[in-house]
Amino acid sequence: MQRVRLAHTEALLAQLRSAGPLSRADLIRLTGLSRTTLFDIIADLIARGVVVEREPALSGHRGRGRPSTTVSLNPSAGRIVGIDLGRATITVIVATLGHDILARGSRPITLAAGPARRANAAIKLIDDLVQEHDIDLRALEAIGLGLPGLVAGPARPAGGASPSAAAKQVRARIQDRYGVAVVTDNNSRLAALAEGTWGAARDVRDAIYVRWSDGVGGGLIVDGRLARGANGAAGEIGHVSVDPDGDPCPCGGRGCLELLIRPSALIERCAARGVTVSDPADLVARARAGEPTVEDVVRQAATLLGRVLAGMVVQVDPGTVAIGGTLAHAGEVVLGPVRAAIAELAMPRHTRHPDVVPAQFGDEGGALGAVAAALRLNLSEPAPAFPA
Ligand SMILES: [Zn+2]
pLDDT of 167 above 50 = yes
Residue count (the chain): 388
> What is the number of other CB atoms lying within 10 angstroms of the CB of residue 8?
18
**338 and 272 in a common domain:** yes
- The CATH number linked to 62 is 1.10.10.10
Has residue 221 been placed in a domain?
yes
The helix (run of H) or strand (run of E) holding residue 288 is helix 280-288
Provide the edge-to-edge strand list for the sheet that holds 216-222.
225-226, 216-222, 207-212, 320-324, 355-358
Last residue of a domain, one of 18, 53, 73: 73
Q: How far apart are CA 272 and CA 277, in angstroms?
A: 11
The Å distance, Cα 10 to ligand 1 centre, comes to 39
Which range, 14-18, 59-63, 377-381, has the best average confidence (pLDDT)? 14-18
Last residue of a domain, one of 51, 73, 95: 73
- The CATH number linked to 131 is 3.30.420.40
DSSP 349: T
Last residue of a domain, one of 57, 73, 89: 73
**Total structural domains in the chain?**
3
Q: How far is CA 24 from CA 56, 66, 72, in A?
A: 13, 14, 10
The Å distance, Cα 214 to ligand 1 centre, comes to 13
Higher pLDDT, 292 or 135: 292
**255 and 323 in a common domain:** yes
**231 and 353 in a common domain:** yes
The Å distance, Cα 278 to ligand 1 centre, comes to 25
pLDDT of 349 above 50 = yes
Note whether 189 and 218 are within 8 A (CB).
yes
Span 300-307, mean pLDDT? 98
**143 and 56 in a common domain:** no
The Å distance, Cα 241 to ligand 1 centre, comes to 7
**340 and 247 in a common domain:** yes
The Å distance, Cα 46 to ligand 1 centre, comes to 47
pLDDT tens digits for 21-53? 789 999 999 899 999 999 999 999 988 888 888
The Å distance, Cα 166 to ligand 1 centre, comes to 19
Note whether 182 and 175 are within 8 A (CB).
yes
Has residue 7 been placed in a domain?
yes
Note whether 236 and 217 are within 8 A (CB).
yes
Note whether 193 and 306 are within 8 A (CB).
no
The helix (run of H) or strand (run of E) holding residue 279 is none
The Å distance, Cα 236 to ligand 1 centre, comes to 9
The Å distance, Cα 256 to ligand 1 centre, comes to 5
Residue 160: predicted pLDDT = 46
Has residue 163 been placed in a domain?
yes
Question: For residue 355, what are the β-bridge partners?
Answer: 320
The helix (run of H) or strand (run of E) holding residue 382 is none
DSSP 183-212: EEEEHHHHHHHHHHHTSTTTT-S-EEEEEE
Residue 251: predicted pLDDT = 85
pLDDT tens digits for 192-242? 999 998 899 988 999 999 999 988 999 999 988 899 888 888 998 999 999
| Percent of the chain residues past pLDDT 70, beyond the cut | 88
Q: How far apart are CA 149 and CA 159, in angstroms?
A: 17
Higher pLDDT, 191 or 203: 191
pLDDT of 20 above 50 = yes
pLDDT tens digits for 71-125? 887 766 678 999 999 989 999 999 887 667 889 999 999 989 999 999 999 999 9
Main-chain dihedrals φ then ψ at residue 64, nearest 5 degrees: -95, 160
**352 and 286 in a common domain:** yes
Note whether 377 and 181 are within 8 A (CB).
yes
The Å distance, Cα 226 to ligand 1 centre, comes to 22
pLDDT of 66 above 70 = no
Residues 6+ apart with CB under 8 A from 201: 192, 195, 207, 209, 221, 319, 320, 322
Residue 304: predicted pLDDT = 98
The Å distance, Cα 98 to ligand 1 centre, comes to 39
Has residue 211 been placed in a domain?
yes
**142 and 276 in a common domain:** no
Indicate the pLDDT class of residue 157, thresholds 50, 70 and 90: very low
Has residue 279 been placed in a domain?
yes
**267 and 158 in a common domain:** no
pTM of the model: 0.79
DSSP 30-73: HH---HHHHHHHHHHHHHTTSEEEEPPPGGG--SSSSPPPEEEE
| Percent of the chain residues past pLDDT 90, beyond the cut | 62
Count how many Cα atoms sit within 13 Å of the Cα of residue 243 in the half-sphere of its side chain.
14
The Å distance, Cα 114 to ligand 1 centre, comes to 22
The Å distance, Cα 252 to ligand 1 centre, comes to 6
Pick from 231, 193, 227, 220: nearest CA to 309: 220
**306 and 208 in a common domain:** yes
The Å distance, Cα 42 to ligand 1 centre, comes to 47
**216 and 117 in a common domain:** no
The Å distance, Cα 255 to ligand 1 centre, comes to 7
Has residue 384 been placed in a domain?
no
Main-chain dihedrals φ then ψ at residue 145, nearest 5 degrees: -130, 120
Expressed as residue numbers, the domain containing 256 is 204-358
Q: How far apart are CA 320 and CA 222, in angstroms?
A: 11
The Å distance, Cα 248 to ligand 1 centre, comes to 8
**234 and 101 in a common domain:** no
pLDDT tens digits for 253-269? 999 999 999 999 999 99
The Å distance, Cα 247 to ligand 1 centre, comes to 10
The Å distance, Cα 180 to ligand 1 centre, comes to 34
Note whether 27 and 43 are within 8 A (CB).
no
**269 and 342 in a common domain:** yes
Which range, 152-166, 174-188, 224-238, 291-305, has the best average confidence (pLDDT)? 291-305
